[in-house]
Amino acid sequence: MTEATAVRRAVRSLFDPRGCPDPYPHYAVLRTHAPALRLPDGRILLSRHAECDRVLRNPAFRVEDEQWMDANLPGAGEHPAVHSLMAEMVNCNPPHHERLRRLVGTAFSPRRIAELRPAVTALVDSLLDRLAAGAGAGAAVDFMSGFALPLPITVIGELLGLPEADRAWFAPRVEAVTRAIEQDLTGEALKTADRAVEELWERLGDLVEQRRRDPRPDLVSTLIAAREADGDRLSRRELLANLVLLYSAGYETTSNLLGNGLATLLSRPELLARLRAESGRIGPWVEEMLRHTPPITLASRWAAEDTELAGVPLRRGAEVLLLLGSANRDESRYPDPDRFDPDRPVAANLAFGAGAHYCLGAVLARMEAEIAFPALLARFPDIALAQLPERRQGFGALNGFAELPLLLGTR
């Protein structure tokens, strides 16, 4: 097989609309033979750590904001889902991005996250009780719906101040928006997302009015106060859009981290036994989970000026796709990158991005995982996969399992 044929096959497999169960061999082909590949539609596909990191940190590369959307998808902003997405801070460039991130950032400070630790520990224990109850008579239980999703959903719900009774209502609507993004904001998925956003904004608008009358120590009240202190700082659109973002980002990344990490451990019994013996140093294990099988594998930027990447010239306006899952397995940065190694020397990975748009909730996600894994393994010494799990269908940025069936071996 020629290099060109291998590259074409790798790209075809990675972009298969049905998904790619094992992308890592294809990533390796691209890193070796085409680290900056111009696709037929003109986009540039990056697969090495150095170039991905450079793009994420360089202000000359921008997120696909409202300006980009108007130029490339005129009329898309008339859709409620797109109108909301383009007001989210992750889809804003300077100076709007810094302004929004500053307002929200106080709720995700290391001190605030540390204050949540006792509540998260109690929640983890409660969810483990529910898993055990569902595993009576040796029945299989689904780790994703029984633990990996409700844990971060509850935590971000508490942080935002969403009423407990409403949290289950929010999740499928936020997921509808995510599905539309993964399908390039087209077709029936976009129509479903439009309806979901209209319902989300109505429900969140009611909550904002309640918190305006009766402020509480939650993020909704904090953002309302910031808006009313200076009306130009946070518009109603920005407030509601970023509440949707925070709810979504607050659980999707963490749930995938938990599911991917557990699947890796259960596929390697020696790792499972070792982590049980050294659960006090869970931090490096979580970091290696993030590197080895990241919850998000793809990001995109566009060039705000003429430049080049790995010898490939880019004109202003060119779109760049960053294969974060590949960058995290780059052999030039991580020796023997396909091996899961919790003793690996610390070298920052791109699981949560880098630069100005580094994930605001990274500290929270790590904290939840560092509490969850030791508690889970201590509670269920005979935990095992009930069957080989299947990864999410379709090509998209999110990397995880729809279901992860377990046998808990409860005694």
Give the C-alpha separation, 144 to 131, whole Å: 11
Give the C-alpha separation, 234 to 80, whole Å: 19
Predicted model pTM: 0.93
Per-residue confidence (pLDDT) for residue 347, from 0 to 100: 75
Per-residue confidence (pLDDT) for residue 404, from 0 to 100: 96
Q: Are 376 and 385 in contact (CB under 8 A)?
A: no
Per-residue confidence (pLDDT) for residue 73, from 0 to 100: 83
Give the C-alpha separation, 263 to 61, whole Å: 35
Per-residue confidence (pLDDT) for residue 185, from 0 to 100: 83
Longest Cα–Cα distance in the chain: 68
Give the C-alpha separation, 330 to 31, whole Å: 8
Per-residue confidence (pLDDT) for residue 79, from 0 to 100: 93
CATH topology of domain 3-407: Cytochrome p450 (1.10.630)
**C-alpha R_g of the chain:** 21
Q: What is the mean pLDDT of each run of 10 residues along the chain (411 residues)?
A: 90 86 94 95 95 96 90 86 93 89 80 89 96 86 95 91 86 88 85 95 94 90 74 79 88 93 94 93 96 95 92 91 97 96 89 94 94 96 89 75 88 51
